[in-house]
Structure 1
Amino acid sequence: MTTKTTVTTRTVEYPADGLTMIGHLALPAGVGRRPAVLLGPEGTGLSDVERRRADALAELGYVALAFDLHGGRYLDDPEEMLARCLPLLADPGRMRGIGHAALDVLRAEPRTDPDRIAAVGYGTGGAVGLELGRDGVSLRAIGTVNGLTTGRPGEAARISCPVWAGVGSEDPIMSPAQRNAFTAEMQAAGVDWRLTVYGGALHAFHHPTVDHPIVPGVGYHPRHAQRAWRDVVDLLAECLPVTEQAHAQLPR
């Protein structure tokens, strides 16, 4: 366990998807219960990028759990990453299992207010958050960057909270057709949804290149990365406010 200024962090291990997951829990200052955020990583897996963002959320007053996708591994080989993530993205039950396992860890933390939890994720991690909503989990907000997946027919009607999604205009993975399918699903289900399209940005535009494999269609966009972080923080401020919340800068 480590303490940085007012934030305390620790590693948490838990079973999910037949693996031992290794998450990163960040706790704000104080001793009372606080609203909490379940933070999901890109398909490559949990890295220091998400750990720093969990720490930044804790600095804002949230309990934050950056959850794991691959049993403690970071899949920087694109072929290996796709071989694991494509079947996962095609299986809502597996995604929900990963999400519920992490959510159980977050709810079990004594500092967490179990009635005030949001899910925010990137890529595959965002898709996991959406599947928790489609599974009827009571969340205060869902935010997803790059992970604009659609679900099984009719299940989006179970989403009971606002949904914000962000995507790069030049993202070849989250194409205009995929974006339209996602927004049509949200609209038909009566979800309170928003979509922000970041002009000129590619897939994983929020993720510093140094921590992400260089593959076609993937690229870091520092300005839009900062804007997307502010949009995430604004979503939480609206739907899951904490006392005296400061305006956040994207952690580096």
Structure 2
Amino acid sequence: MTITTRTIEYPADGLTMKGHLALPAGDGRRPAVLLGPEGTGLSDVERGRADALAELGYVALAFDLHGGRYLADPEEMLARCMPLLADPGRMRAMGHAALDVLRAEPRTDPERIAAVGYGTGGAIALELGRDGADLRAIGTINALTTGRPGEAARIRCPVWAGVGSEDPIMPYAQRDAFAAEMQAAGVDWRLVVYGGALHAFHHPTVDHTVRPGIGYHPRHARRAWRDVVDLLAECVPVHWSLSR
């Protein structure tokens, strides 16, 4: 299937963000996916996933975190992302800025949007849900973040989350807290634990020598991607849009 792509600039967090928009073939409206990157920022990995979603028939926007920069230095990345992750309002503003861009795209069916994110991008997707955003599904990997008390009850869609069993950044206590929050809020939620996987196991370019506890797991990366695609097929199926 022939797709088209382009860079979309938009303001957020005091920066000019540079998102990657991928459009499926045709000219009709399609369900859409907002795609959030790891804390290092938008890379060819997320751009490739947006392209893959477009090949499946989705409008996909991989959003930016750092004004077009990729923060390969761990210390620089943490210096920017840790304050961001501690500020739900800031995360929500960044998420809504990208979501508004996706909704404004003429090919997007505004009633059929899902948010999928990795790491910091996944935390932003969850905060959109806690803010009551009109989403049909939320999927996250390495982002079992919890929100302010009671706000998870505003999530209006199923939530799927994936995590590596050996992820030191998302340990058992964090998993339990996330599960307790979702359950108490009455959310339709699922948590998949990928045995033996570290943090950022889905990201081919990561290297555990850069930071302990981080590493790529090819088999589980493929499985996690299939799980994400299955979530989208269940909650925002392309065939539904095509048959309207």
What is the TM-score when the length of structure 2 is the normalising length?
Answer: 0.97
Is 1:84 matched with 2:80?
A: yes
Provide the residue aligned with 2:121 in structure 1.
125
- The question of 1:39 aligning with 2:21 is answered no
Deviation at 1:214, TM superposition (A): 2.5
**For residue 29 of structure 1, what is the aligned residue in structure 2?**
25
Question: Post-superposition shift, 1:215?
Answer: 1.1
Could you tell me how far apart the structure 1 residues matched to 2:27 and 2:94 are?
A: 28
Aligned pairs, number: 241
Q: SS of 1:196's equivalent?
A: strand
Does the 8 A contact of 1:129 with 1:142 survive in 2? yes
Residue number among 109, 112, 115 corresponding to 1:116 in the alignment:
112
Tell me, which stretches of 5 or more residues in structure 1 are unaligned? Answer: 246-252
The 5 Å alignment of 1:1-252 reads: 6-209=2-205, 214-243=210-239
CA contact (8 A) 1:78 1:213 kept: no
Distance 1:230 1:72 in 2: 28
SS of corresponding position for 1:53: helix
TM-score by length of 1: 0.93
SS state at 1:209 partner? coil
- Encode CA deviations 1:132-176: one digit per residue, 9 max, x unaligned: 000000100000000110000000000010000000000000011
Distance 1:167 1:212, change over 3 A: same
Following TM superposition, by how much is the alpha carbon of 1:244 offset from its aligned partner in structure 2, in angstroms? Answer: 9.1
SS at match of 2:230: helix
- For structure 2, list consecutive stretches of 5 or more residues without a partner in the other structure: none
CA distance in 2, matches of 1:49, 1:167: 18
Deviation at 1:209, TM superposition (A): 2.6
Q: What percent identity do the matched residue pairs reach?
A: 87
RMSD: 1.4
Pick closer, same or farther for the CA change 1:48–1:183 going to 2, 3 Å.
same
Answer whether contact 1:209 1:220 (CA < 8 A) is retained.
yes
Distance 1:244 1:112, change over 3 A: closer
What secondary structure sits across from 2:114 in the alignment? strand
Conserved 8 A contact 2:207-2:215: no
